[in-house]
A and B are shown apart, each in its own frame.
Chain A
Amino acid sequence: MNVVPQPSFLMVDWWALGAVIALTVGCLALLVLEFLPAGERSSRGGVISLLTLGVSAYAVLRVAQDRRSLFDGMFVHDGMTVFFTVLFCAIGILSVLMSWDYVKRTRINQAEYYALLLSSVLGMVIMAASNDLITIFLGLELMSLSLYVMVGFRRTRLESNEAALKYFLLGAFASGFLLYGIALLYGATGTTDLGRMGAFLADSPVLSNPLLLVGGLLVLAGFAFKVAAVPFHMWTPDAYEGAPTSVTGFMSAGAKAAGFAALLRFGLKAMGPLEDQWAPLLSVIAALTMTVGNVTALLQQNLKRMLAYSSIAHAGYILVAIVAGGTTGAGAAVFYLAVYSFMNLGAFAILTMMGQGRDERVLVSDLHGLGFRRPLLGVAMTVFMISLGGIPPTAGFMGKIQVFGAAIEAGLIPLVIIGVLNSVISVFYYLRVTVAMYMREPEGEPTAISQGLPALLCVVITLVLTVWLGIQAQPLWVEAQRSVLSLL
Chain B
Amino acid sequence: MIPLSWLIALSAILFVIGVVGVLVRRNAIVIFMSIELMLNAANLAFVAFARHMNSLDGQIFVFFVMTVAAAEVAIGLAIIVNVFRLRETILVDEINLLKG
Contact = CB atoms under 8 A, between A and B. Distances in A.
A152 interface: yes
Contact of B86 (A137, A145, A158): A158
Contacts of A166: 95, 98
Contacts of B49: 183, 186-187
A155 interface: yes
Interface of B: 8, 11, 15, 18-19, 22, 28, 31-32, 35, 38-39, 41-43, 45-46, 48-49, 52-53, 55, 57-58, 60-61, 64-65, 68, 71-72, 75-76, 78-80, 82-83, 86-87, 92, 95-100
B95 A134 contact: no
B61 A141 contact: no
Contacts of A182: 42, 61
B71 A165 contact: no
Contacts of B65: 137, 179
A128 B24 CA distance: 35
Q: Looking at chain A, what size class is its interface with the partner chain? A: 35 or more
Interface in A128-157: 134, 137-138, 141, 145, 148-149, 152, 155-156
A177 B86 CA distance: 31
Question: Which 6 A/B pairs are nearest by Cβ-Cβ distance?
Answer: A176-B38, A183-B45, A187-B49, A179-B42, A238-B98, A180-B42
Contact of A161 (B52, B71, B83): B83
Interface of B is mostly: helix
Contacts of B79: 148-149, 152, 161, 164-165, 168
A180 B31 contact: no
23 contacts: A134-B61, A137-B64, A138-B68, A141-B68, A149-B75, A158-B97, A161-B79, A162-B95, A162-B98, A165-B83, A169-B28, A173-B22, A175-B72, A179-B39, A179-B42, A180-B38, A182-B61, A183-B43, A183-B45, A186-B46, A186-B61, A187-B8, A300-B100
A302 B100 contact: yes
Interface of A: 134, 137-138, 141, 145, 148-149, 152, 155-156, 158-159, 161-166, 168-169, 172-173, 175-177, 179-180, 182-184, 186-187, 190-192, 237-238, 241-242, 299-300, 302, 305
A169 B92 contact: yes
B49 to A, nearest CB: 4
A158 B97 CA distance: 8
